[in-house]
Amino acid sequence: MKKLYAAILCFIVLAGCNKQEASKSVNPPLTEIMLTTLPEVAGYHTEKTFGIVCAWNDYDGNGAFSIEGMFQLLRDSAKKSGANAVVNIHITGNSYDAQGSKWVIAHTMTCGDSVVVK
């Protein structure tokens, strides 16, 4: 009878260990700079914070505006700092008159926190 209890106890302990190991999912390393408006990248843990990175664009109506271009500037700034993700991204926009109201310039700024996640 003692052997049966010991066997059941071992089974429960081993089953619990396997279940814990299975529940720990190992995330693959990021191959490119991840961007998110959330405070953290889902499934990853923030290891180090480098600070704020920003990108801005003044659009006067004569060229193509690309939000993806601004995101690429964020990625470039984050990569220079050693980060592999930018979290807490905020996009703000404004406009102002230039040359005595002859031109209206749209100003867009994108900022976030550059971090290392694993």
- With respect to residue 14, please indicate whether it lies within any of the assigned structural domains: no
Strands 103-117 and 34-35: unpaired
Structurally, how many domains does the chain consist of? Answer: 1
Which CATH number characterizes residue 87's domain? 3.30.110.70
Residue 66: predicted pLDDT: 75
- With respect to residue 105, please indicate whether it lies within any of the assigned structural domains: yes
Residue 15: predicted pLDDT: 44
Place of tokens 């889902």: 42
Tell me the chain's radius of gyration from C-alpha atoms.
24
Domain with 75, as residue range(s), is: 27-117
E strand or H helix at 115: strand 103-117
Residue 53: predicted pLDDT: 95
CB 109 within 8 Å of CB 55: yes
Tens of each residue's pLDDT in the chain, 118 residues: 444 444 444 444 444 444 444 444 566 677 789 999 999 998 899 999 999 999 988 776 666 667 888 899 999 999 999 999 999 999 988 877 776 767 777 788 899 999 999 9
